[in-house]
Amino acid sequence: MEQKKTLILGATADPCRYSYLAAHLLTVDGHVIVNVGNKTGAVAGIPIEKPEAIHTDIDTITLYISPRNQPSLYEYIFRTNPKRIIFNPGAENPELQQMANARGILTDFACTLVLLATDQY
């Protein structure tokens, strides 16, 4: 299986959140992760960064941020230049999807947890 370096946008150290679970499942599955969020902490042993440092080796960004909070991150997302963006439930944003597709970035309205569980990640 191909390992995909994944940036978790909306990462949190709160174990009740799906992004927390995704971070753990991605690492268990052998994927390298980058946690990016607004709060400090660590998830799956990886510190949570602020959306400042640009990572240019990202295969997938998995979004756990509501559409109303995404516009301020558009530039960050596009400077990262991922191959794919996964819009998890509650993060669906047709505007961002259209902008990403116009730049040649694949998009999925899907659940990272389901994709991992069904070997479709």
CATH assignment of 6-49+66-117, among 3.40.1190.20, 2.80.10.50, 3.30.9.10, 3.40.50.720 = 3.40.50.720
pLDDT tens digits, one per residue of 83-105: 999 999 999 999 999 999 999 99
DSSP labels, 37-99: -SS--EETTEEEEPTTSPPS--SEEEE-S-GGGSGGGHHHHHHH--SEEEE-TT---HHHHHH
Question: Which residue reads 């944003």 in tokens?
Answer: 93
Q: Which two tokens stand for residue 116?
A: 């991992």
pLDDT tens digits, one per residue of 38-79: 999 999 999 999 999 999 999 999 999 999 999 999 999 999
Report the predicted TM-score, pTM, of the whole model to 2 decimal places.
Answer: 0.96
Domain ranges of the chain: 6-49+66-117
Distance in angstroms (rounded) separating the CA atoms of residues 51 and 1:
29
